[in-house]
């Protein structure tokens, strides 16, 4: 699917970082870095990234090294979207004996990783959640990624920092018009990227981006 996305002109392919799919502890999740490495090795142009890599699942130095390895495979086309996790993902840590540090410690790790990756030239996004986490992104000069945010929320964040949008694809009978309307709305509000959760109509996404008169957001 990543190769097909690249052929169509989709700009990026992203993987989440969970020990099981959200709300489905009976199922395993695919580790993002091996999968993204496989995508990087078999594509030429498409950006590869996490959405998001959670600090605390591995030591900060290991997380940074994982991005280093991905960058070596796909120099210039990596997005390190980082997150702190929240109460919805805490159970994953607990089930595998991984400490779930207090929020302040997780934000400190987020800041360390963001700074280290920026120094390497890697594009960094921070998953927006609590205001204190958004503040870290703003202070570090990196993009804030908002999940399923309204155009008004995107516009409010765009006044303070770069903002990217992510969310599920519209569940409607006419995906072309629904995706086109959503992409136009978030692009008009200031989002530099629109990332759709899988399953997503690839052709509709590409047509929506190309239909924007000013080039739109990826």
Q: Which of 110, 138, 166 represents a domain boundary (last residue)?
A: 138
Q: Which of 138, 163, 181 represents a domain boundary (last residue)?
A: 138
* pLDDT for the residue numbered 174: 77
Mean predicted confidence (pLDDT) in 151-172:
94
Average pLDDT, the chain: 93
Q: Does residue 10 form part of some domain? A: yes
Task: Return d(Cα 28, Cα 89) in angstroms, integer.
Answer: 14
Task: Return d(Cα 70, Cα 75) in angstroms, integer.
Answer: 8
Q: How confident is the model at residue 215 (pLDDT cuts 50, 70, 90)?
A: low
pTM: 0.93
Q: Which of 138, 158, 192 represents a domain boundary (last residue)?
A: 138
7 and 76, same domain (yes or no):
yes
How many Å is the Cα radius of gyration of the chain? 17
Is residue 94 within 8 A of residue 116, CB to CB? The reply is no
Full residue range of the structural domain in which residue 49 is found: 1-138
* pLDDT for the residue numbered 169: 87
125 and 157, same domain (yes or no):
no
83 and 108, same domain (yes or no):
yes
Mean predicted confidence (pLDDT) in 46-61:
96
Mean predicted confidence (pLDDT) in 154-180:
90
* pLDDT for the residue numbered 171: 76
pLDDT of residue 3 exceeding 90, the answer is yes
């Amino acid at each position: 699917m990543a190769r097909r996305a690249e052929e169509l002109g989709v700009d990026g392919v992203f993987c989440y970082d969970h020990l099981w799919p959200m709300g489905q502890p009976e199922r395993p999740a695919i580790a993002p870095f091996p999968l993204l490495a496989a995508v990087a090795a078999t594509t030429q142009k498409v950006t590869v990234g996490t959405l998001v890599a959670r600090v605390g699942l591995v030591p900060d130095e290991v997380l940074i090294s994982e991005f280093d390895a991905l960058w070596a495979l796909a120099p210039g086309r990596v997005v390190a979207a980082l997150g702190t996790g929240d109460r919805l993902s805490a159970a994953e840590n607990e089930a595998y004996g991984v400490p779930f540090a207090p929020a302040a410690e997780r934000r400190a790790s987020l800041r360390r990783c963001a700074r280290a990756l920026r120094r390497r030239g890697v594009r960094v996004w921070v998953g927006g959640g609590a205001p204190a986490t958004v503040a870290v992104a703003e202070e570090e000069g990196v993009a804030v990624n908002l999940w399923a945010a309204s155009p008004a929320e995107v516009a409010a964040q765009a006044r303070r920092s770069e903002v990217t949008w992510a969310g599920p694809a519209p569940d409607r009978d006419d995906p072309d018009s629904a995706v086109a309307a959503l992409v136009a709305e978030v692009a008009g509000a200031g989002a530099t990227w629109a990332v759709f959760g899988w399953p997503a109509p690839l052709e509709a996404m590409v047509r929506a981006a190309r239909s924007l008169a000013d080039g739109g957001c990826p």
